[in-house]
């Protein structure tokens, strides 16, 4: 879901955006937002379908939690992994390790020690 541009060049810019050549100003209307979203998808090489929030950001307001964070819930409904706040707190290798750990038999004592 493409929502409000997180780091527009006319507000504040991140070094990673400059390095990735994703330097875009805040869109002024829905048509411009669609152009900016398309540029982000292409420049960042996003391979999954992307949709655009309407200009009033109703989807962002209804569903976004800041800072972004990724959780892995185990079969018992417990938090088995909690990423650090995003966008740079998420480390794919940490999630991969947590997923691998779920595939192994786990003792009841270890299950009781998962963070809640």
Task: Pick the closest to residue 68 from 83, 55, 54 (CA basis).
Answer: 83
β-strand 71-73 against 79-82: which pairing, if any? antiparallel
Structure-derived torsion over alpha carbons of residues 70, 74, 78, 79, reported in degrees to the nearest 10: -20
Q: What is the pLDDT of residue 109?
A: 47
Confidence of residue 56 (pLDDT cuts 50, 70, 90): confident
Q: CB within 8 A of 87, min separation 6: which ones? A: 6, 68
Select the more confidently predicted residue: 5 or 50. 50
Count the domains in the chain.
2
Q: Quick check: is 8 in a domain?
A: no
The answer to whether residue 1 sits within a structural domain is no
Residue 87 included in any domain: yes
Q: Which residue did the predictor score with more confidence, 99 or 112? A: 99
Same domain assignment for residues 75 and 55: no
pLDDT band (50, 70, 90) for residue 66 = low
Residue 4 counted as domain residue = no
Whether residue 53 is found in the same domain as residue 84 = no
Domain of residue 24, residue span: 15-63
pLDDT for the residue 105: 61
């Amino acid at each position: 879901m493409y929502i409000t541009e997180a780091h527009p060049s006319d507000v504040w810019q991140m070094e990673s955006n400059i390095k990735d050549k994703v330097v875009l100003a805040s869109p002024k209307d829905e048509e411009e937002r669609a152009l900016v979203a398309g540029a982000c998808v292409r420049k960042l090489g996003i391979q999954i379908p992307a949709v655009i929030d309407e200009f009033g950001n109703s989807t962002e307001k209804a569903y976004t939690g800041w800072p972004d964070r990724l959780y892995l819930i185990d079969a018992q409904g417990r938090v088995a992994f909690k990423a650090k706040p995003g966008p740079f707190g998420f480390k794919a290798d940490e999630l991969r390790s947590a997923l691998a750990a779920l595939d192994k038999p786990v003792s009841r004592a270890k299950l009781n020690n998962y963070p809640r």
